[in-house]
């Protein structure tokens, strides 16, 4: 019984990550979206910090 194992060839097309879609690129570049995500992340961090100090 012969079993074959698929291996990726280094530096081939298959070994690279996929290209992001147009929407993904748009949201990554959007200043407003990044600003909102920044404040959401800070609020999550502050909840952890404040919860640890009480």
Mean pLDDT of the chain: 84
Predicted model pTM: 0.56
Quickly state the pLDDT bin for 52 (edges 50, 70, 90): confident
pLDDT 10s digits, 8-27:
677 766 667 788 899 999 99
Extents of the domains making up the chain: 30-54
Output the pLDDT for position 54.
Answer: 64
Please give the full DSSP string across 4-44, using - where no structure is assigned. Answer: ----PPTTSGGGSPPPPPHHHHHHHH-HHHHHHHHHHHHHH
Output the pLDDT for position 11.
Answer: 72
């Amino acid at each position: 019984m012969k079993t074959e194992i698929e291996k990726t060839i280094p530096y081939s097309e298959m070994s690279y990550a996929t290209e992001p879609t147009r929407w993904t690129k748009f949201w990554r570049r959007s200043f407003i979206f990044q600003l909102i995500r920044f404040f959401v992340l800070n609020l999550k961090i502050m909840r952890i910090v404040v919860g640890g100090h009480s």
